[in-house]
Amino acid sequence: MSSTSAGAYRSPLAPDANAGLVALVTGGGTGLGRAIAREFARTGASVAIAGRRPEPLEEVRAELEAAGTEALTFPADVREPEQVTALVDAVLERFGRIDVLVNNAGGQFLAAPEDISAKGWRAVHRLNVDAVWDLTRTVATRSMIPAGGGLVVFIGFSPRRGIPFVVHSSAARAALENLAGGLAIEWSRYRIRAVCVSTGAIDTDAFRAYGDAFVEEAERTAPLGRIATAEEVASVIAFLSTSGGAYITGTTIVIDGGADAWGLGFPPPRPTT
């Protein structure tokens, strides 16, 4: 566990900072998505969470409702257009609008670039780019544009360059940075803001599943000497929809303990011939 543990963490946001808003968080059953859903709920928003597995979603829903938050869970694979439509239908039926969309769902596998097949490349980009665009466009056209405003958050990677063993995913996340900038310009006439939050390593079960060596390398190469807690990242994302974040759009916010400034922090591979 990092030196700033989840148990010691205290949110800087007021309990009513997001009062009255409706937030949709994908990948909301575990890890960072769960922390984001909790923080929006804690700051007064109604929360809809989506994910592929019903069980963790229901755990989050029960937790949020026990704390007094109106919550909706919807099992969905955002790679499937018909499930995206059904998800948005359900949220609009329950809450009437979507003020904040956090595109947290994503994934990748570790592989040397020469071992990534065309199928593997397409699978990663389908989840991290294509599905994100489909949901973003659907939410914008059906809720944010008619309502005259909203916030779309994308999740990127840091360091903001090619990262060994995940070049397919780091390329996809770089596309989201560009997408945030483009949409912020195109949709400013609708008062829709778009921001990419690029994170370094986050202390979640999914990240620790890569193995101790991977975690230790991330801690060693971060200038602050640790990896982030999910709560730290979640509070920054929840801040963006408050009045304090209302003038932030079209940019990338980097939360990485200085990793992007430092670079990769370890030697490159040497030529073999």
Residue by residue, what is the 3-state secondary structure of the chain?
Answer: CCCCCHHHCCCCCCCCCCCCCEEEEECCCCHHHHHHHHHHHHCCCEEEEEECCHHHHHHHHHHHHHCCCCEEEEECCCCCHHHHHHHHHHHHHHHCCCCEEEECCCCCCCCCHHHCCHHHHHHHHHHHHHHHHHHHHHHHHHHHHHHCCEEEEEEEECCCCCCCCCHHHHHHHHHHHHHHHHHHHHCHHHCEEEEEEEECCECCHHHHCCCHHHHHHHHHHCCCCCCECHHHHHHHHHHHCCHHHCCCCCEEEEECCCHHHHCCCCCCCCCCC
| Residue 157 one-letter amino acid | F
Domain borders along the chain are: 17-256
Largest Cα–Cα separation, the chain: 63
Distance CA 230, CA 69 (A): 20
Positive or negative CA dihedral for 91, 95, 96, 97?
Answer: negative
The dihedral of CA 235, 157, 207, 65: what is its sign?
positive
pLDDT of residue 75: 96
**In this structure, are residues 126 and 77 in contact, taking their beta carbons and an 8 Å threshold?**
no
Specify the pLDDT at position 227. Answer: 92
CATH architecture of 17-256: 3-Layer(aba) Sandwich (3.40)
- Please identify every stretch of the chain with a pLDDT value under 50, giving residue numbers as ranges: 1-6
CB contact at 8 A, 52 and 28: no
Report the Cα–Cα distance between both ends of the chain, in Å, rounded.
41
Asked if 36 and 63 touch (Cβ cutoff 8 Å), the reply is: no
- Cα separation of 121 and 19, whole Å? 40
Task: Note the pTM of the prediction, 2 decimals.
Answer: 0.92
Give the separation between CA 43 and CA 16, rounded to whole angstroms: 5
By DSSP bridging, strand 100-103 and strand 150-157 are parallel
What's the confidence (pLDDT) of residue 51? Answer: 94
Q: Which residues pair with 46 in a beta bridge?
A: 22
Report phi then psi at 84, rounded to 5: -60, -45
Q: What's the pLDDT score for residue 114? A: 93
> Which residues, 6 or more positions from 176, have their beta carbon under 8 angstroms from its beta carbon?
103, 128, 129, 132, 154, 155, 156, 196
pLDDT at residue number 221: 84
